[in-house]
Every structure is written in structure tokens, then in C-alpha cells.
Amino acid sequence: MTTGWYDRMIQALQLNGKEERTQQAYTRAVGMLCQFYDKTPDAISEQELLDYFLHRKNLSHWSPKTMRICYCGIRFFFTQVLRQDWHIFHILRAQTEHRLPTVLSVQEVSSLPACVRTFHN
């Protein structure tokens, strides 16, 4: 069974040209917010959004990529469907993950022998 907010969000996402997987991720993010507060998204305040994002970041320890999907989905719903232009949407930024590259460049590979120390008896 679908809800009014869900149908409205799917329509807005489709009109915006979002792919099906993005639609699923964004609606899941809003659904989790609704579950967290046990209310419809149009009844959630800006302060509750702030508290929710802080909870997910600091207590649930969501990764930056998960937080980014959460931010984007919820922001899309509130700004495009509910037409709420709250201050929180102007300050939200997910951290950038710093990971080692999967493949080393030629220059990085050629510098490796200089880092190796051998021990001779």
C-alpha cells in the first residue's frame, strides 16, 4: 500500500528524470525518517530533521556515502515536494571519504622500491 507522500515523491522524482534506483534510495531515506519519528514527513519540523541527521551521523555512525544519500533524498522531498526551503538544507554537507586508490599510478609503483628497507646480516 502506498501513501500520499510516497506517490507525490515518485512523481516528482520521475519528472526530475531520476533513475529507478535513485527513486528507491530517496524514498527509502524519507521512509526511514518517517519510521524514526512515527509520523508523516509533512509533520516533521526542521529541528527534528537536524536531530535526525545528527543521530544518524553520531550515534548510528552512518558512512559519508550513506549520509549523502539520506541528505539528498530528504532534501529533495522537502524542497521539491513540500516546497520547504529550510536553513538546514543550505548547511548540509556529507564528509568526503578518503580512501586509498584501487590502482597505483606508474609513478607510485616506481617509488615503492625506495620505501623498502632490507636487512642484511
Q: Where are the domains of the chain?
A: 4-95
Question: Which cell numbers hold the place of 55?
Answer: 543521530
Predicted confidence at residue 41, as pLDDT, reads 93
pLDDT of residue 1: 43
Cα 91 to Cα 53, 71, 85, distances in angstroms: 12, 11, 12
pTM for the model stands at 0.73
Q: 4-95: what CATH class?
A: mainly alpha
Alpha helices in 1-121 (DSSP H): 4-15, 20-37, 46-54, 64-76, 88-91, 106-115
Going residue by residue through the chain (121 aa), what tens digit of pLDDT does each one get? 457 899 999 999 999 999 999 999 999 999 999 999 999 999 999 999 999 999 999 999 998 889 999 999 999 999 999 999 898 888 877 666 666 667 878 888 888 888 777 776 5
